[in-house]
Amino acid sequence: MNAAKLEHFRKILTEQLRHRTENVRDNQAAALEMGASDDGVKDAVDMSLKDVNQEIALRLGERESQMVADIDQALFRIDEGSYGICARCEKPISERRLEALPTARYCAECQSAIEAASGEDDISTL
């Protein structure tokens, strides 16, 4: 992949990193605020709902944190010269796939094989 394309993907990933990092911070702050606030909730149902909302906020933060880690890894691959190369078959990942998923580690064929082996292709998309 040429230097201009690598710089293009670096810019995309850097912007995604900034955005996701802000989301992580906001989600974690919201979860902590939910746990710390005492809004006079006394009813068991209200307390359960508060716990569920806090758990959702924490899980959203975890998901965003994983995305931040994926973006960091992609930026590292750019720096080390392996970005855009499938980690499984070592063939180039199509630019179309990288535009859709800049953090992609595998080409579409290998990703399909990995998902098929783990049973992820049995999940309904409806």
User: What is the residue whose two structure tokens read 């990942």?
Assistant: 93
Domains present along the chain, CATH in parentheses: 1-83 (1.20.120.910), 86-126 (no CATH)
pLDDT in tens, 85-124: 999 999 999 999 999 999 999 999 999 999 999 876 555 4
Helix 3-36 crosses helix 44-80 at what angle (to 10 degrees)?
160
Average pLDDT, the chain: 85
Instruction: Considering only residues 3 and 118, tell me which one the structure prediction assigns the higher pLDDT.
Output: 3
> Does 38 have pLDDT greater than 80?
no
Residues 88 and 109: beta-carbon distance below 8 Å? no
Token pair in block for residue 123? 């999940």
- Report the alpha-carbon distance of residue 62 to residue 103 in Å, rounded: 17
Q: Give the pLDDT band of residue 29 (cuts 50, 70, 90).
A: confident
Tell me the H-state helices in 37-124: 44-80, 95-100, 108-118
